[in-house]
Amino acid sequence: MTKLKIKNRLAQDRLMLWSVCLFAALTAVPLLAILGEVLLRGYDQLSWSFFTEPTPTAYKAMKAIEAGAPIPGGIANGIIGTMIMLGMAVVVAVPSGILCGAYLAENPKNRFAQVVSYLTDLLQGTPSVIIGIITYIWVVVPMKGYSAIAGSVALCIMMLPLIIRSTEETLKILPASLKEAGLALGGNKARVMMKVQLPAAFGGIFTGVLLAISRVIGETAPLMFTALGCSFIRFAVDKPISAVPLLIWEFFNDPNLQELIWGASLFLLLFVLTLNLLSKYLAKKWNQ
Amino acid sequence: MESVTPILEFKKTCVSYTKQTMAVKYVSAAIERNTITAIMGPSGCGKSTLLRAVNLMHNLYPNIRVDGEILLNGENILAMEPIDVRRRVGMVFQRPAPFPTMSIYDNVLSGFVLNGIKLSKVEKDATVERCLRSVALWDEVKDVLNKKGTFLSGGQQQRLCIARALAMKPDVLLMDEPTSALDPIATKHIEELLLELQKEVTILIVTHNMGQAKRISSKSMFMYLGELVEYGDTETVFSKPSDERTKAYLTGKMG
């Protein structure tokens, strides 16, 4: 009787293990399927000119398709636009996010800090399309036009909560002895934060910044309201500008350019994957 | 008259973590200049709490209250600015805590950086050498000054932390069980070092280890449940303790 019971229990255990493994494998299926699909369709579009030339006009693309040639041009305008907007967003979001995270980590019981912390959570959960429309009202309307600045404001708002959280979490797991040792030497709180705590937390914060970048680099909706798009390479920050995810949307809407979707998607996907792997690697290295 | 002013004096010092319970109860004691004073007692009897009151570490935690007076050269610490007090009262913690992102060289100088004091290259080099020599670490690390502080062994790290505290030329050095995380050989090194250092600085050391108190201190305090039960010359405290509780602790019946 008991032997049978034990056998039953072991069988249950095995069954559970198998089903857990099965579902774990299932979650990997979509990712692999997406990667495979994009890779297969986008691979032959990747060439040097794809990264150096701007989007072709619909007419040029149509001519090329008629002639059976590959579509000329590339996504350089989108890559440059994405980099410009990301750069501006990072310059603002990183320092302010780190300072805010430091404040939250140092004053967990302060009423104001608790409110800020809660708002950070809310901001993180705000749909990006809403951030886009708000930025439109705040920036595009007063500036009387779509611009890279407006796009970077939207991206910056989206990055902030991620940077704040990662800074806060990293600072909180530092041993308290580090801060106390700094203060015991006569440093004031600000100096101990700048010279001891933040440098010690650098790895975690940097990882958080990379993840924040990879999170917003694919954002499309907020850029539709703010950056609008542009079919040629442009460096001006007060004019409409393109971005890789915007291009994908434009390609989708233009039957002549649809072939370009896959190259652009592949680029974006690989970029995000690289950032993710890099941040994982850095986090691991930092934890050692 | 000046020479008899104790360098550090507790006057009815109380520390409480909550309104109901006091961790340190009305401690009064005068610490003599250039001595090593050991604070002994079982766990949770307020030794570290008393020690941390001296450099105002309790100020970091708003719910902790410190009452009474603590005089440093006759001046009440509790009414002073923490950054001022902490520059004059160094502290070495239980676990060696060199700053992980700084080199050995920068660790020694970290007190100056944290206080916003600029030094010339010559002054820096001289300070690093002087401090590392005074903790007998110079010969071991003089060729690896640019390596991270965490690259050293536990005992070396602790000596680095002592050097870091000494660099600020403090009047008093507080040590919170500085050898409890170290092996016996490293402990012996630190103890020898402290005997040397008392010529420069007054040392107040919390220790769990009665043998250590006996070996290095000239004065001993025995604390029990937040009270200062006994305070006197180490020899007298160990040979003729006047209180039953001290006797019980020293003979191993309690603790």
For the stretch B158-174, pLDDT in tens is 999 999 999 999 999 99
Whether residue B97 and residue A178 make contact (CB cut-off 8 A), yes or no, is yes
Tokens of A167: 């800074």
pLDDT higher than 60, residue B3? no
Contact B127, B109 (CB under 8 A): yes
Whether residue B83 and residue A202 make contact (CB cut-off 8 A), yes or no, is no
Whether residue B97 and residue A188 make contact (CB cut-off 8 A), yes or no, is no
Integer CA distances (angstroms), B98 to A285, B55, B118, B177, B205, in order: 20, 19, 21, 16, 19
**Over residues A8-23, mean pLDDT:** 95
What is the predicted pLDDT for the residue at B4?
Answer: 65
Other C-beta atoms within 10 Å of B243: how many? 14
Chain A environment of B166 (Cβ under 8 Å): none
Chain A environment of B168 (Cβ under 8 Å): 185-186
Chain B residue nearest residue A181, CA to CA: B97
Chain B environment of A180 (Cβ under 8 Å): 57, 60, 93, 97
pLDDT higher than 80, residue A190? yes
The Cα B171–Cα B173 span in angstroms is 7
**Over residues B219-237, mean pLDDT:** 94
Chain A residue nearest residue B115, CA to CA: A187
Question: Shortest Cα distance from B64 to chain A (angstroms)?
Answer: 14
Chain A environment of B55 (Cβ under 8 Å): 184
Chain A environment of B173 (Cβ under 8 Å): none
Q: Helical H runs in A43-110?
A: 48-52, 58-66, 76-106
On whether any CB of chain B is under 8 Å from the CB of A178, the answer is yes
* Residue range B99-123, pLDDT digits in tens: 999 999 999 999 999 999 999 999 9
Within-domain flag for A88: yes
Size of interface A-B (CB pairs under 8 A): 76
pLDDT higher than 60, residue B182? yes
Within-domain flag for A3: no
The Cα B111–Cα B55 span in angstroms is 15
Whether residue A202 and residue B101 make contact (CB cut-off 8 A), yes or no, is yes
Of A187, A191, A200, the CB nearest to B101: A200
Whether residue A186 and residue B83 make contact (CB cut-off 8 A), yes or no, is yes
Q: Is the dihedral of CA B106, B109, B115, B117 positive or negative?
A: negative
Question: Shortest Cα distance from B252 to chain A (angstroms)?
Answer: 31
Whether residue B115 and residue A185 make contact (CB cut-off 8 A), yes or no, is yes
pLDDT, mean over chain A: 93
Best probe of the B interface among A106, A178, A185, by most B CBs < 10 A, is A185
pLDDT, mean over chain B: 92
Question: Shortest Cα distance from B80 to chain A (angstroms)?
Answer: 13
The Cα B16–Cα A285 span in angstroms is 42
Chain B environment of A200 (Cβ under 8 Å): 99-101
Question: Shortest Cα distance from A190 to chain B (angstroms)?
Answer: 9
Chain B residue nearest residue A191, CA to CA: B114
Fold for domain B2-250? Rossmann fold (3.40.50)
Question: Shortest Cα distance from A186 to chain B (angstroms)?
Answer: 5
Query: Residues near A14 by Cβ (< 8 Å), separated by ≥ 6?
Result: none
**Over residues B189-193, mean pLDDT:** 92
pLDDT higher than 50, residue B2? no
Whether residue B115 and residue A181 make contact (CB cut-off 8 A), yes or no, is no
On whether any CB of chain B is under 8 Å from the CB of A145, the answer is no
**Over residues A249-276, mean pLDDT:** 92
Within-domain flag for A109: yes
Of B114, B164, B165, the CB nearest to A195: B114
What is the predicted pLDDT for the residue at B255?
Answer: 66
Residue numbers of A between 14 and 73 with CB closer than 8 Å to B: none
Whether residue A188 and residue B83 make contact (CB cut-off 8 A), yes or no, is yes
What is the predicted pLDDT for the residue at B21?
Answer: 87
Q: How many domains does chain A have?
A: 1
Within-domain flag for A24: no
Task: Note down the domain range covering A94.
Answer: 76-287
ipTM score here? 0.91
Of A186, A188, A202, the CB nearest to B111: A186
Residue B1: band (very low, low, confident or very high) from pLDDT cuts 50, 70, 90? very low
Find the CATH number of the domain harbouring A246. Answer: 1.10.3720.10
Within-domain flag for A67: no
Longest dimension (CA), chain A: 82
Whether residue A185 and residue B95 make contact (CB cut-off 8 A), yes or no, is no
Whether residue A178 and residue B113 make contact (CB cut-off 8 A), yes or no, is no
Q: What are phi and psi of A93, to 5 degrees?
A: -70, -35
pLDDT higher than 90, residue A106? yes
**Over residues B214-240, mean pLDDT:** 94
Comparing A62-66, A82-86, A87-91, A121-125, the range with the smallest average pLDDT is A62-66
Contact A230, A141 (CB under 8 A): no
Chain A residue nearest residue B109, CA to CA: A185
Question: Shortest Cα distance from A174 to chain B (angstroms)?
Answer: 11
High-pLDDT (> 70) share of chain B, %: 98
Q: In degrees to the nearest 10, what's the CA dihedral of B57, A192, B110, B156? A: 60
**Over residues A29-38, mean pLDDT:** 93
In a 13 Å sphere around the CA of A263, the CA atoms on its Cβ side amount to 24
Whether residue A186 and residue B165 make contact (CB cut-off 8 A), yes or no, is no
